[in-house]
Structure 1
Amino acid sequence: MWRRFLILVAPCGLAACAGWPAATAPLHGYQPERFDGEAYVRHVKFDPARACEAARRALLSQGYVVGTAQAEQVSGRKYFQPSPEHHVQLEFRVVCASKADDADAAVVFVSGLREQYIVRKIKESASLGVGGLGSLSLPVEGSMDSMVKVASETVTDAALYERFFELLGTYLDRVDVPGRRTPQAQSPERLS
């Protein structure tokens, strides 16, 4: 009985082991985390809503399409096409958190995500079959193009974040938060 059991189970066990990868896939270009937050964070003397409104305007001024704009979070995307077959999306996410010890100050966190796509072309040919006569292959070719994501990575260029924070600083001093009115602002008059 044990012999029959082993004869049945051994091939299944060997087949299961054959499907396991020999080793993990290598990480090409991977940089181990340093957990150095200096490039991704700044402390500002403005409340979180004002800081995120300044971040929204900074992204808009550089051609980013703003997808999410809330009081304490903003995200925007920008699209590039370095070559006809290569597409790149750069997304910035900005989170504005209030400081624990000062309600009128904020900590601004920013991270960038770069996604790269290539165009994959698929060739197709047509064939026609007629019952009783056989099949006829036509030399008509078509192709379908599809975008395939080939890379997705967090942007680690400290100079890029430095330029963003410099631009953010120019908007912090001159931005008003939507919904808040300054004392000088007047409401529009109603036409009668």
Structure 2
Amino acid sequence: MSRMFRLSPALLLALLAGTVAGCSTTKPNVYQGEEFSDTSTFSHDFATSSSATCEAARRTLLSQGYIIKQAKGALVDGHKHFQPDPDTHVEIEFHVVCAPNGKDDKSSTLFVSATQDRYALKKTNNSASVGLSVLGSVSLPIGSTSDSLVKVASETIPAGLFYDRFFGLIEHYLGLDGGLPVVDFDDKPALPTKAAAKAEQE
């Protein structure tokens, strides 16, 4: 004799809701993590003009081996290449913008964003084609192998300590850390010459 089990309507609805929720579960969108809160991770205030701040940022990147793509007043872009292993290539690109705080431009805020692009080495086999008058074009199992870099990842570096080191070296070139400031903001040496330092002491 068979028995029939009857589920209550409430239990049936609960099971149905759980099944639907399990099927519709998706990962949260990336933009949901953008809080637009008051954070200093990507910005720093300096008691110098915007042009002086950006020039110090340019010298900071140059001192660490970055290649400057452009440096126009309140804008500096630079990049640097890394190869952590034979099959991986990494490129870090800096984008710096300096904005004056007030009309007198006695202080400024530096905004920075660094992007890390990762490339992987991809090998491609190229077969050789030989043309014959009777058979036409025939592909033979002889050829060459070509290597190419393919971008596999790209992200904005979020680490606060990474930018703190960048800001700290900018303060050094501005003389805000107690060191020698830059003489001016053209192509002259970043630090005073020995003759200039001796003249100041006299």
TM-score class, shorter: 0.7 to 0.9
Q: Determine the C-alpha separation between the residues in 2 that align with 1:29 and 1:86.
A: 26
Unaligned runs of 5+ in 2: 1-23, 176-180, 189-202
Q: Which residue of 1 aligns with 2:157?
A: 155
Q: Determine the C-alpha separation between the residues in 1 that align with 2:72 and 2:33.
A: 32
Report the Cα offset of residue 139 of structure 1: 3.6
* 1:9-31: CA deviation from partner (whole Å, max 9, x where unpaired): xxxxxxxxxxxxxx9x9689988
Q: Secondary structure at the match of 1:108?
A: strand
* 1:57-110: CA deviation from partner (whole Å, max 9, x where unpaired): 010111111111111111110100111111110011111100026521111111
Q: Secondary structure at the match of 1:156?
A: coil
Deviates more, 1:100-109 or 1:150-159: 100-109
Q: Which residue of 2 aligns with 1:107?
A: 109
Q: Determine the C-alpha separation between the residues in 2 that align with 1:80 and 1:168.
A: 23
Q: Determine the C-alpha separation between the residues in 1 that align with 2:126 and 2:113.
A: 42
Q: Which residue of 2 aligns with 1:55?
A: 57
Letter in 1 for 2:185: V
Letter in 2 for 1:45: A
Letter in 1 for 2:122: R
Shift >6 Å, 4+ stretches: 27-31
Unaligned runs of 5+ in 1: 1-22, 181-192
Q: Percent identity?
A: 42
Root mean square deviation, CA, Å = 2.7
Q: Does 1:34 align with 2:42?
A: no
Q: Which of 170, 177, 183 is residue 185 of structure 2 equivalent to?
A: 177
Tell me which structure has the larger Cα radius of gyration. Answer: 2
Q: Determine the C-alpha separation between the residues in 2 that align with 1:79 and 1:157.
A: 19
Figure out how many residues of one structure are paired with residues of the other and give that number: 157
Aligned in 2, Cα 1:27/1:128: closer, same or farther, shift over 3 Å?
farther
Q: Which residue of 2 aligns with 1:124?
A: 126
Q: Which of 163, 166, 169 is residue 168 of structure 2 equivalent to?
A: 166
Letter in 1 for 2:33: P
TM-score (norm 1): 0.72
Report the Cα offset of residue 137 of structure 1: 5.0
Report the Cα offset of residue 170 of structure 1: 0.2
Q: Which residue of 2 aligns with 1:188?
A: none
Q: Which residue of 2 aligns with 1:72?
A: 74
Greater RCO structure (CA 8 Å; 6+ sep): 1
Q: Secondary structure at the match of 1:38?
A: coil
Aligned in 2, Cα 1:130/1:60: closer, same or farther, shift over 3 Å?
same
Letter in 1 for 2:186: P
Aligned in 2, Cα 1:151/1:43: closer, same or farther, shift over 3 Å?
same
Q: Determine the C-alpha separation between the residues in 2 that align with 1:121 and 1:164.
A: 37
TM-score (norm 2): 0.69
